[in-house]
Amino acid sequence: MSNSIANLDPKILWKHFYSLTQIPRPSKHEQAAVDFVVKFGKDLGLETIVDEVGNVIIRKAATPGMENRKGIILQGHLDMVPQKNSDKQHDFEKDPIEAFVDGEWVTANGTTLGADNGIGVAAAMAVLEDNSLVHGPIEALFTIDEETGMTGAFNLKPGLLKGDILMNLDSEDEGELYVGCAGGMDANIKLAYKEELTPAGYSFVKLSVTGLKGGHSGMDISSGRGNSIKLLFRFLRYTEKQFHIRLASIDGGSLRNAIPREAFAVVGVPADKLSELEQAAKKHLEIFKAEFSKVEPDMAFSVDKVDAPKSVFDAKAQWGIIRGVFGCPNGVIRMSDAMPGLVETSTNLARVYSEDGFIYVQCLLRSSVDTAKEALGEKIASVFEMAGAEVSFAGSYPGWKPNMDSAILKVMGEVYKANWGKTPEIKAIHAGLECGILGGVYPNLDMISFGPTIRYPHSPDEKVKIDTVDKFWKFLVEVLKNAPQK
């Protein structure tokens, strides 16, 4: 283990977190992490169960005198978002994360860190291992594939869990308790194109929008950060009219739940218009930087000459995709009336790419109001259907409705105030926590979510604040000691 991480407090938690950074576990490729926690549970002599899809449940009996407390389920997800800088050589299915201490934070070298949700998983493992703790009956639920579909939560069967209270360890602001979250839905767009021979007299360039911050498509959607795909297509819309460009390929964004940081397109332009296009790109970069001066200081927009491809998109498909993406809603759609400052409804235009005769677009819609989410989906469908594309929806999941009379909420508020002299903030989150889905399967669960301070999740800038991890752990330990009675 890195000596600096090994020396952080609480050592038992950081030990497990570091072990997780050494196990490749991108979404849908987390079997090694499943095997790791299964071995961990069995080595401790604890009841360890793996369900049909790969979720792991480990049970630990109450400490003497605590048998009359409600059973607590500590829940986190094993997978992580695989994002890296374009100049970083890293295979998320094979390579460990290069985690290191950077001042007050732990971060990674050019990739996502996996503190989302590795810190939560490590905390649950520490509770299972530490026999000095005082607690009632404990279950640890480690789910799979949370980031790209919540597959584990969706497929958890009724009757497996025995606990009364679910503590989701997947929030990212210390001192805040989350009692509700947004639901979500994927919009998948598919537009066919025909290949036409590259026109004579055209020069080709690769347009590259890079250097944006990206981030979590729920929690960071209100930050006003740039969307590389929207910016690129804004330029394509302009140049299509001005220079009669021809599109040959598109590749923007990477994951449905990450604000796109980079976007690329290969385009042709009449040779005598090439210098004008280059000047237009410089002008648009100035415009973009002025509009996003505070949130995207490192934005770049380059034009690089490339060899002419053999073919380009047919004119009808080019017309459709430029208008569809340019016109597609993106960002915050509506703020919440119930909780000031909280986003109610949003959408992230996350991915666009061309492959084998089709152009694909992916959006992730979020809302705490199911009808608003559905209406937003129909709006996106309307835009792309007018462009001639097929639109389908998948992976819809419900939000989590707050319960302000929650027993665990009351206990946690009292414990926090007794130990740190202030009342924690009670919030809902504009992100897809698994609580909404798990609550549908186990409707009687009393649920809450909390965690340490994590910044820039789902991006290579992801980092976790060291002192908040220690505070998060101490808070968890005290809450377990004061769990509600049955």
Specify the domain boundaries for CATH 3.30.70.360 within the chain.
Answer: 185-397
First to last CA, the chain: 41
Average pLDDT over residues 365-369: 93
Write the pLDDT tens digit of every residue in 113-124.
999 999 999 999
Pairing mode, strands 202-210 and 263-270: antiparallel
CB 364 within 8 A of CB 350: yes
What is the pLDDT, as a whole number, of residue 401?
Answer: 84
174: tokens are: 């210390």
For the chain, give the number of residues: 486
What is the pLDDT, as a whole number, of residue 89?
Answer: 96
The whole-angstrom separation of Cα 341 and Cα 309 is 48
Q: Where are the alpha helices (DSSP H) in 339-406?
A: 370-386
* CATH 2.40.240.20 fits domain 185-397: no
**CATH class, range 3-182+400-481:** alpha beta
What is the pLDDT, as a whole number, of residue 3?
Answer: 66
Q: Provide the annotated active-site residues.
A: 79, 146
CB 460 within 8 A of CB 113: no
Write the pLDDT tens digit of every residue in 194-225.
999 999 999 999 999 999 999 999 989 999 99
The pTM assigned to this predicted structure is 0.75
Write the pLDDT tens digit of every residue in 370-380.
899 999 999 99
Q: Nearest-5° angle of CA 133, CA 68, CA 416?
A: 50
Is residue 296's pLDDT more than 80? yes
Specify the domain boundaries for CATH 3.40.630.10 within the chain.
Answer: 3-182+400-481
